Amino acid sequence: MRELIYYSFLESADTKRAFIEENRDRIFDVFKEIAERVKRGKKILLCGNGGSAADCQHIAAELVGRFKMERRALPAIALTTDTSILTAVGNDYSFDKIFERQVEALGEEGDVLIGISTSGNSKNVVNAVLKAKEMGILTVGFLGKDGGRLKDIVDYPFIVKNFSTPRVQEVHITLGHVLCDFIEGYLFSYEKYFPPFGEGVDR
């Protein structure tokens, strides 16, 4: 069991290292685009199932509340939290429609939808992304394994190339934390809060 503990931490670290080495520049470019949209008054919508649903709520809470900075609240909505909507749509239509209907109701052109799926094949996330694209909403996928169907339909896929769901989820929440950190710094000044990281930042 000691070996299991040690191996789990090493595998998590190795998975994160491999992911960032492959995606570092893309993360900067995509997060900058998201931050620009938030700066212009657009909002971030998030959807996913199970542990990914928890990640959606976690990320939205960091943006609406705060991550590191005292600053104004930022517009983010986890589409995973309203049990009346989820059960009504699931009962009256199907579980596959629970996020799509909320995107249609709450989304606006120029917003951002982050779909989180460790398999990349969650049907309700796929449907939400397709609806978002119809509406002119930027779509980003936090995905796992081989990226599944979502890698081919989101505007920007971030794929954690690991078939262990826990390892994928660990990268996803780190990516979500980095997104919150980036948006705060981009909108409210890296120089004031993170002097070592502010020098030379292209904003």
| Residues 90-106 pLDDT 10s | 999 999 999 999 999 99
Using DSSP bridges, classify how beta strands 138-144 and 112-117 pair: parallel, antiparallel or unpaired: parallel
52 appears as a binding residue in the annotation? no
The token duo for 111 is: 């917003």
Domain count, the chain: 1
Q: What is the pLDDT of residue 1?
A: 85
CATH number of the domain enclosing 9: 3.40.50.10490
Say whether 62 counts as a known binding-site residue: yes
Q: What are phi and psi of 129, to 5 degrees?
A: -65, -45
> CB–CB of 107/46 below 8 Å?
no
Q: Which domain holds residue 84?
A: 2-191
Judged by average pLDDT, the poorest of 53-57, 77-81, 199-203 is 199-203
What strands lie across the sheet with 76-78, from one edge to the other? Answer: 76-78, 44-48, 112-117, 138-144, 156-160
- 50 assigned to a ligand binding site: yes
Instruction: Output the pLDDT for position 2.
Output: 86
Average pLDDT of the segment spanning 154-162? 98
From residue 59, alpha-carbon distances to 26, 52, 87, 142 in Å are 20, 10, 23, 12
What is the pLDDT confidence band of residue 198, given thresholds at 50, 70 and 90? very low
Q: With 90 as the cut, is the pLDDT of residue 203 above it?
A: no
Flag whether 119 is marked binding.
yes
Q: What is the DSSP string of 118-174?
A: SSS--HHHHHHHHHHHHTT-EEEEEEETT-TGGGGTSSEEEEE--S-HHHHHHHHHH
Query: Is 190 a residue whose pLDDT tops 70?
Result: no
In a domain, 76, yes or no: yes
- Residue 197 belongs to some domain of the structure: no
Q: How many CB atoms lie within 10 A of CB 160?
A: 27
| pTM recorded for the entire structure | 0.92
- Establish if 99 belongs to a structural domain: yes
Per-residue tokens: 90: 């699931």
Has 49 been labeled as part of a binding site? Answer: yes
The residue ranges of DSSP E strands in 111-169, in sequence order, are: 112-117, 138-144, 156-160
CB 154 within 8 Å of CB 162? no
Q: Is residue 201 part of a domain?
A: no
Residue 3 labeled ligand binder: no
According to the model, what pLDDT value does residue 189 have?
Answer: 77
In a domain, 198, yes or no: no
**Which whole number is the average pLDDT over 126-143?**
98
Per-residue pLDDT band at 200 (split at 50, 70, 90): very low
Query: Is residue 18, in this structure, part of any structural domain at all?
Result: yes
Assigned domain for 202 exists: no
Residue 153 is assigned to a structural domain of this protein = yes
Mean pLDDT of the chain: 94
